Amino acid sequence: MSTTNNTADASNQATTDAKNPCPFLRALQALGYIDSDRESLATVSQVVTVTMDNGIGKPSKSYEIKLIALLASGKSVLTFFQTLTQGLRLSDLRFGPLDKQGVGSRIIDLEGNISEDQLMRLDSFAADFEDESGTLERGLNEAALNKMMDENFARPSKRRRWFDRLLMNGEWPALLQVMGKNHLSEPYLSLSEVKELFVDRSLPKRVTKRLLPRE
């Protein structure tokens, strides 16, 4: 299995924690919208809800984002209360209650490296879509994402829990809401943009323009 080290982009190296398993949050951290040490739950919820507000679907409410952050970082009573009182540390998400540890896409491994093989595997679920400029590109719509998540869950894993498939519904579908392009009113994820998200920890300009630069 070929992998790409998470320090491939030197400009992002200092601000992105390899232990953060979420590609979306890794990008927000690398771009400076979420602090590399700890970030208040209020800021995390505000950044995430604004980024998800693209008109395709209703973004999650602020309190929902805060609750998910608390649960995801609650590896212990101590980390739970540290998140509640001091803010979220993204490295606490690894091995937390919501971390599937290899049951999902397996694109980001436990050391924070990117599996090129698993990235390439996405194309087996993709189809050709025409973006707003008329350009054809490979992409994943909702049906393709559901098929991929079903197959991810079906892969053998010693760590699999019965609710891991439910957790997936808050990941790839959320990315579709954040980064989705429209094709005949059907949103899809651009594979090239997904690769940039994972490898370069970047978001499309149409996404980042929703956010004000952080002071």
Indicate whether 162 belongs to any domain. Answer: yes
| Residue 134: how many other CB atoms lie within 10 Å | 6
Please state the separation of Cα 163 from the chain's center in Å. Answer: 18
Query: For 109-122, what is the mean pLDDT?
Result: 93
Residue-wise pLDDT for 37-52, tens only, equals 899 999 999 999 888 8
Residue-wise pLDDT for 125-142, tens only, equals 999 998 888 889 999 999
Which amino acid makes up residue 207? Answer: V
Total domains in the chain come to: 1
Residue-wise pLDDT for 144-196, tens only, equals 999 999 999 999 888 889 999 999 998 999 999 899 998 777 899 999 999 99
Indicate whether 10 belongs to any domain. Answer: no
- What the block records as the tokens of 50 is 């604004």
Q: What Rg value do the Cα atoms of the chain yield, rounded? A: 17
Look over the chain and give the mean of its residue pLDDT values, rounded to a whole number. Answer: 86
Which amino acid makes up residue 180? Answer: G
Q: What is the per-residue pLDDT for 111?
A: 85
Indicate whether 47 belongs to any domain. Answer: yes
| Residue 204: how many other CB atoms lie within 10 Å | 15
- What the block records as the tokens of 25 is 């949050």
Give, rounded to a whole angstrom, the gap between the first and last alpha carbons of the chain: 41
Give residue 59's pLDDT band: very low, low, confident or very high (50, 70, 90): low
**Secondary structure (H, E, C), the chain:** CCEECCCCCHHHHCCCCCCCCCHHHHHHHHCCCCCCCCECHHHHHHHHHHHHCCCCCCCCCHHHHHHHHHHHCCCCHHHHHHHHHHCECHHHHCCCCCCCCCCCCCCECCCCCEEHHHHHHHHHHCEEEECCCCCEEEEEEHHHHHHHHHHHHHCCCCCCCCCHHHHHCCCHHHHHHHHCEEECCEEEEEHHHHHHHHHHCCCCHHHHCCCCCCC
For residue 210, CA distances in Å to 49, 89, 126, 205 come to 10, 24, 27, 9
Indicate whether 31 belongs to any domain. Answer: yes
CA–CA gap between residue 73 and residue 76 (Å, rounded):
8
Indicate whether 203 belongs to any domain. Answer: yes
Q: What is the per-residue pLDDT for 157?
A: 82
Indicate whether 48 belongs to any domain. Answer: yes
Indicate whether 103 belongs to any domain. Answer: yes
Indicate whether 66 belongs to any domain. Answer: yes
| Residue 51: how many other CB atoms lie within 10 Å | 21
Residue 137 domain boundaries: 17-208
